[in-house]
Amino acid sequence: MTVSSRLRALAEGLHEFYVGPYRRTFARAQRDEDDLFRMLVMSEMLGVPNPASYYTAELLPVLYDGFHDWHRRMGMERSPLEDYRCC
């Protein structure tokens, strides 16, 4: 083994040592951040005035794929949008 491969293995081991126990926490934080982002982008469609709606309108097609999972996590049994039914 070369020195660079040993250093790389050491770096990967240290990364796993420090990040491993918090993997679930990081995933939950990422999901919460994604939910907040989705709410901000879709706020105009939900009836909440959004001053940034001009910029977020082009992001809507990207968010439609995960919309069903999002509204279920938010506790909404059915889609809150009148013109977009996902379930």
Q: What is the pLDDT of residues 40-55, one digit of tens each?
A: 778 777 787 777 766 7
Dihedral of alpha carbons 15, 21, 24, 25, sign: negative
Q: Report which listed range, 19-23, 52-56, 65-69, is most confident.
A: 19-23
Dihedral of alpha carbons 45, 49, 50, 51, sign: positive
pLDDT 10s digits, 71-83: 888 888 777 777 7
Instruction: State mean pLDDT over 16-30.
Output: 92
pLDDT value of residue 29: 94
pLDDT value of residue 2: 92
